[in-house]
A and B are shown apart, each in its own frame.
Chain A
């Protein structure tokens, strides 16, 4: 049967063969050969040693029976699709006797794709490397005897977690959907929120061994092209064997790798990514993780919650202010307390100073050590409650927090005021909406406490200046980290400590230099002008700016 099929080689086939050899020498190949047996041997050699790789042989009833082979990985595919739309379609297809399918071998694969397969996404591939990657990603390769091209059918489908409410960024108001571990489902969620032809989703594979899909998402008519190309360039430079989480990418592409401040925002909220895209940012989504990366980002933005924009603006302003105070507390409160208690008790009102001194009487440790021990205890409790399964975690929090604190105070080891300070600090650090920046503040708190013990308020001011110099030097993809405060940007202050009403947010943040500045709202140059033109009055004119 096989012999019959072999025909004398045409000159065009010889030419093709030559081209293939040339390409192989250039390191692009190896490529598939027209002989099915050779291809199968090659594939078996490459991936056939694992039991989950299935090789399914069958015959197609064309004008002559043609041998074919399906290769796929069990568990990564949808069985129904392979059974019904590939196997069933191919084996039951009956060609007309006059139609000489087998005569033009080169076109055979193409014709099978066009006339027989009832699969929506099929492509032709002749490079073995690509074919193997496709098989390992859950696609099915169809090899037909006599054809030097494999048909790659999209049959992906595997067990996965559904769309759930994000665990790390809960919100009172706002959509309750978060990303999951499937890249396609994540990009689809973004697509569902922005039905704009300018929404670009570019995927690439990173990781020599893991071949993880990574998608760059941006709005082409808004995002600054330099930022997009910069992100792409940096992604292309990543040399790694396996990519397990977007944190790997983050470490490779962030601007100040030595700094403890994150220059890339991490989120699992869909709305957050969408809001970022609308501001002209670029998002990077990674397969197998719900955590998306948003860049560029400013320091303050790490303290904004997605929810800020879903509440009415007076409430949003209050939330922002509270969070800024929490930021200040989580960084400075223990240090300030130490500085006042050790070096400058004359700064606090007399009665309060007396109270503090009174509660500290008989405490066997210096203030710094007392604070350090309590902070360490809190950190350990926090870490332990994260590791323990749900209900136990809360128990640990209560036993550790209440029990330890109360016992330590009763035993006279710790002053009650220090307990208040440490508890307030811990609670404040939970108020940070971004996990990354909360850790940064926790880390910075300890050196500041030490500085306060050694040199009081003077040391704290000096340390703050050092911190400020460091922060002023950080850029996130070209955007100053402390923007819009320094360099001062009046237009961007509309979304800083104060959140102006949505209709007054006429411009996108200028810090990211978007291609299109106005959000397509009412006509006004600045947000304070817009504040005096409420939307109702404007609508009478009946025209939007972009119309």
Chain B
């Protein structure tokens, strides 16, 4: 465990871990949800909620920095008492774990509709879960390096393809700005569902003890969230600008459609959507890898195990089983809606409450 508990992550790696965690399955459905909520001005929703989550991330970091040498598992037990603390940690682990079946299932669906139409689902899901487990059983230092490279490639390729698609961009698709008849903010389910795309910064509560300079964690987290918000907003503007909001609402995988619209004579590859898909495969992989690691790490900390690797491998069949339960688009949408609810609860209720509690306790200690 010594090599693990050493402070080895640079601020840059922390930023990229949070970016890698956050950008995953959510980005593909975000534009259509935004278009549903605010029509042509859907990007405003993305930007606004993004900034809200940035605020929540700031609270989460501040809370984590109350105990820079401890993960949430240890600190929550100090704050809430042992039973409640363990319960909260278990809840946290379950939260991280809940991402995995969705990510696996979404990936399998996309691979099956585009890259490998004939491959059986068990092969695609199984191989993906295996590779996730292989990565997640390593220590955070190694994970951070893998994540660093993959998420950079994914982001650069993604942005590159989207910029190419701007040849079809029409500014009038983004007008009128905030028209009353296009606003459907009452559509709570869709609104809450977009929170799924912003989940990820909660991991700072677990990785803080591994960061070289914990005092810089706040800056790193904010950088990460702003990057994510920037990418999401840019992506939403591009999709709505190219397709118009009505079409965007109808498209299931807006990113892929965007890439399909690109025509490039000079390039040796005929279809850019598959390139985007491969880039995005690495983005979804980093999400899966990190959630997997965090869930296993939380559990191993609760049970005080010397290594998290056995938990990782023990989880694999369960993830596979759960992913087969997600039969279609609607079931996993349902599932991601519940994850969104959890995200909202953790970001805006539990973490701020715990932060307040820790502040009060510190004040109490100081006066007492």
The chain A residues found within 8 Å of chain B, CB to CB, are 343-344, 346-350, 352, 455-459, 461-462, 465-466, 468-469, 472-473, 480, 482, 485-488
Contact = CB atoms under 8 A, between A and B. Distances in A.
A486 B148 contact: yes
B119 interface: yes
A472 B285 CA distance: 16
B115 A487 contact: no
A468 B115 contact: no
Nearest to A457: B115
Nearest to A343: B116
A456 B145 contact: no
Nearest to A339: B115
Contacts of A350: 270
Nearest to B119: A455
Contact of B146 (A347, A458, A472): A472
Nearest to A348: B270
Nearest to A483: B145
Nearest to B267: A349
Interface string B264-288: 0000111100100010011001000
B111 interface: yes
Contacts of A465: 131, 135, 146, 150, 282, 285
Which among A343, A458, A472 has the greatest number of chain B C-beta atoms within 10 A? A458
Interface stretch (B41-49, B122-130, B194-202, B227-235): B122-130
Contacts of B124: 458
Contact of B142 (A346, A347, A457, A469): A469
B13 interface: yes
A486 B119 CA distance: 33
B123 A455 contact: yes
A368 B270 CA distance: 23
A469 B270 contact: no
A455 B146 contact: no
A450 B142 CA distance: 27
Nearest to A469: B135
Interface in B1-54: 10, 12-13
Contacts of B145: 472, 480, 482, 486-487
Nearest to B128: A462
B137 to A, nearest CB: 10
Nearest to B123: A455
Contact of B274 (A344, A472, A488): A344
Contacts of A459: 127
Nearest to A481: B145
B349 interface: no
A487 B134 CA distance: 20
Contact of B134 (A346, A466, A482, A485): A466
28 contacts: A344-B274, A347-B271, A349-B269, A458-B115, A458-B281, A461-B278, A461-B282, A462-B127, A462-B128, A465-B131, A465-B135, A465-B146, A466-B131, A466-B134, A468-B146, A468-B150, A469-B146, A472-B138, A472-B145, A472-B149, A473-B138, A480-B145, A486-B146, A486-B148, A486-B149, A487-B13, A488-B12, A488-B148
B207 to A, nearest CB: 15
A480 B145 CA distance: 10
Given A455-B123, A473-B142, A346 B271 contact: yes
Nearest to A352: B268
Interface in B71-125: 111, 115-116, 119, 123-124
Contacts of A473: 138, 142
Q: Is the interface of A mostly helix, strand, loop or mixed?
A: helix
Contacts of B12: 487-488
Closest 8 CB pairs of A and B: A472-B145, A486-B145, A458-B115, A469-B135, A473-B142, A472-B142, A486-B148, A472-B146
B127 A455 contact: yes
B245 to A, nearest CB: 30
B115 A344 contact: yes
A493 B25 CA distance: 33
B271 to A, nearest CB: 6
Contact of A457 (B128, B135, B274): B274
Contacts of A455: 116, 119, 123, 127
Contacts of A462: 127-128, 131
A348 B115 contact: no
Q: Identify which of A343, A466, A469 gathers the most chain B CB atoms within 10 Å of its CB.
A: A469
Given A458-B281, A486-B145, A487-B144, 19 more contacts: A343-B115, A344-B115, A347-B271, A348-B268, A349-B269, A350-B270, A352-B268, A455-B119, A457-B115, A461-B281, A462-B131, A465-B131, A468-B146, A469-B138, A472-B142, A472-B149, A480-B145, A482-B145, A486-B146
A343 B112 CA distance: 12
Contacts of A487: 10, 12-13, 144-145, 148
A343 B269 CA distance: 14
Nearest to A459: B127
Contacts of B128: 462
Contact of B149 (A344, A346, A348, A485): A485
Contacts of B149: 468, 472, 482, 485-486
Contacts of B115: 343-344, 456-458
Contacts of B127: 455, 459, 462
Contacts of A346: 270-271
Contacts of A347: 269-271, 274
Interface in B279-309: 281-282, 285
A461 B111 CA distance: 12
A458 B116 contact: yes
Contacts of A469: 134-135, 138, 142, 146
Contacts of A352: 268
A445 to B, nearest CB: 20
